[in-house]
Amino acid sequence: MKKMNLLLAMMLMLGLSTIAQNSEKEWNTLFDGKTFTGWRGYNSKTVPPVWTIDDGAIKINKAAKDQTGRRKGGDLIFDKKFKNFELEMEWKVAKGSNSGIFYLAQELKTQPIYASCPEYQVLDNQNHPDGTAGKNGNHQSASLYDMIPAVPQNALPYDQWNKTRIIVNNGIVQHYQNDVLVVEYELWTDKWKELLEASKFNSKDWPDAYKLQIDCGGPNHEGYIGLQDHGDDVWFRNIRIKEL
């Protein structure tokens, strides 16, 4: 009887260990800390020169210029579409810097990336003008940009790493900042239309963006993960995703 109990205990431990290993294997690393493997520019086959790798992080460089003195920038996307997922990464900004994380993005020749998809705002709230712009703080860090403010607003100051988690699951979207749920909403609903109409993406001022975002993710409700070049110094690291 003791031998049987011992055997059952060993089998249970082995089963729990296998479950834990399989759970961890579900995460896919999107950035290896060394190369741009899997990444490219929006509407480009290559990575724009303003993006570099700096001490294990993807960095967008404010001052990067080519030999002619021009800044050759552009947004960055991971070259695979995702539908339902949990996305994690860390980011930090230089003083006064602005960027964003896009999800369910479409790639269109005639529109910027942010016309087609939601944006998780990345910002130095204290030193960038967007910190006091918009409505009720909906331009601040971790907000659904120009639509829903992140509450509570718990971003760490510039030059400190913040943690982001974005969950998209059958239209339910959650923004986490530093392990706190700060935004939650549902896509493709009447409420989603109301949010769009009250934003810069409304049907009167920007009808093309409104049409794209009403059914964001396109017919399959899937799209690219993107990082925004807003012309400022910003770093991203430990980028991984779990498909749901």
Q: Per the domain annotation, does 157 fall within a domain?
A: yes
SS3 14: helix
Q: Per the domain annotation, does 57 fall within a domain?
A: yes
pLDDT band at 22 (very low <50, low <70, confident <90, very high): very low
Give the phi and the psi of residue 4 in degrees, each rounded to 5: -65, -45
Q: Per the domain annotation, does 194 fall within a domain?
A: yes
Better-scored residue on pLDDT, 97 or 8 = 97
Contact 174/143 with Cβ under 8 angstroms?
A: no
pLDDT band at 20 (very low <50, low <70, confident <90, very high): very low
User: Whose structure tokens read 């724009």?
Assistant: 48
Mean pLDDT of 18-34: 74
Beta bridge partners of 241: 28, 87
Domain count, the chain: 1
Mean pLDDT of 81-103: 98
Q: Per the domain annotation, does 202 fall within a domain?
A: yes
Q: Per the domain annotation, does 190 fall within a domain?
A: yes
Q: Which two tokens stand for residue 193?
A: 């239309």
Q: Per the domain annotation, does 14 fall within a domain?
A: no
Q: How much is the mean pLDDT over the chain? A: 91
Give the phi and the psi of residue 192 in degrees, each rounded to 5: -60, -40
The per-residue pLDDT for range 160-171, each reduced to its tens digit, is 999 999 999 999
Q: Cα 61 from chain centroid?
A: 18
The answer to whether residue 52 scores a pLDDT higher than 50 is: yes
Q: What percent of the chain has pLDDT over 90?
A: 85
The per-residue pLDDT for range 64-89, each reduced to its tens digit, is 655 566 778 899 999 999 999 999 99
Q: Per the domain annotation, does 214 fall within a domain?
A: yes
The answer to whether residue 102 scores a pLDDT higher than 90 is: yes
CATH at 92: 2.60.120.560
51: containing domain: 29-243
Among 73, 108, 92, smallest CA distance to 228 is for 73
**Other CB atoms within 10 Å distance of the CB of residue 112:** 13
**Other CB atoms within 10 Å distance of the CB of residue 28:** 14
Concatenating the DSSP letter of every residue in 182-234 gives EEEEESSSHHHHHHHHTSTT-TTT-HHHHHHHHTTTGGGT-BEEEE---SS-E
The per-residue pLDDT for range 197-211, each reduced to its tens digit, is 999 999 999 999 999
The answer to whether residue 8 scores a pLDDT higher than 60 is: no
Q: Per the domain annotation, does 120 fall within a domain?
A: yes
Among 163, 173, 176, 215, smallest CA distance to 85 is for 173
